[in-house]
Amino acid sequence: MTVLAKARFQRLATPSDATGSFLDVQYNPTELSFSKAAQIAEIPVPGLDTPLLQYVRGQAETVSVELFFDSTEEGTSAAAEPVTGRTDKFYNLIKADRATHAPPVLLFSWGGTAFPGARRDGFRCVVTSVRQQFTMFAPNGVPLRAKLTVDLKEYKPLTLHLEELGFHSADHTKATVTRAGDTIGAIAYREYGDARAWRRIADENAITDPLSLRAGTVLRIPKGAAS
């Protein structure tokens, strides 16, 4: 007998690990929709027919999943069990956690190691929206069937971002995270011992305004000192 893998959401104890409580869906979804995009800047050059294209950064991958819930196995009379007892657990995934003051970080999985995408064990994410549609009611108006459309957005902790910045080019071997009060000249001095090397960092990260540097920004640092 073949045991079908159940789609499930796991509330991660911390964003970087893979432990935490599970929340199983009632029925497996019939389809998943994945979307991934990149931010590309257009650089106009006088005399060219089209602008030059410059990769700026990747955008978070998104997944949309439709879930179906039904409580009619307990009957359809006025005393029937409302389906909201099952859907509320998923609807609450969009709400801020009392301890973290933010929605929980989840691992959405289905099919074990065969889950599609770069993460074979599942999709690490946060819920960005939940839409509920009730499609059947008891005589007294209690909802008995519901369809939930859940939109998920890829979540990566900073440690994972830094690990993935190990590009295969000798010019992209290091990354740094900006601190409060940092300037790009100060970063250049810290990395190269020469504040005048700031332009290399600016060019590498497509920074057009060196004065608008925000704390917590991940910057790629080109290898070697400025020429």
Note the pLDDT of residue 173: 52
Could you give the percent of the chain with pLDDT greater than 70? 82
Q: Give domain 160-221's CATH architecture.
A: Roll (3.10)
Model confidence, pTM: 0.64
- Residue 149's pLDDT band, with cuts at 50, 70 and 90, is very high
| The pLDDT value given to residue 134 | 96
**pLDDT digits over 14-24, tens only?**
765 666 788 88
CA–CA distance, 28 with 6 (Å, rounded to integer): 6
CA 17 remoteness from chain centre: 15
Which residue in this structure is represented by tokens 């196995």? 73
What mean pLDDT do residues 98-112 have?
A: 83
Q: Calculate the average pLDDT of the chain.
A: 82
- So what's the pLDDT on residue 5? 72
Contacts of 133 (CB under 8 A, 6+ apart): 146, 147, 148, 149
Alpha-carbon distance of 11 to 92, in angstroms, equals: 12
Question: Looking at the predicted structure, is the pLDDT value of residue 170 above 80?
Answer: no
pLDDT in tens, 47-82: 888 888 888 888 889 999 999 999 998 788 878 899
Q: What is the pLDDT of residues 210-220, one digit of tens each?
A: 888 888 888 88
Question: What gap in Å lies between CA 26 and CA 70, rounded to an integer?
Answer: 8
pLDDT band at 119 (very low <50, low <70, confident <90, very high): low
Per domain, the residue ranges of the chain are 8-156, 160-221
Tell me yes or no: is domain 8-156 CATH 2.40.30.200: yes
**227 or 185: which leads in pLDDT:** 185
Whole-angstrom distance, CA of residue 161 vs CA of residue 158: 5
CB atoms within 10 A of CB 106: 23
Full 3-state SS string of 125-159: EEEEEEEEEEEEECCCCCEEEEEEEEEEEECCCHH
- 133 or 102, which is more confident: 133
Q: How many residues does the chain have?
A: 227
Domains 8-156 and 160-221 share a fold: no
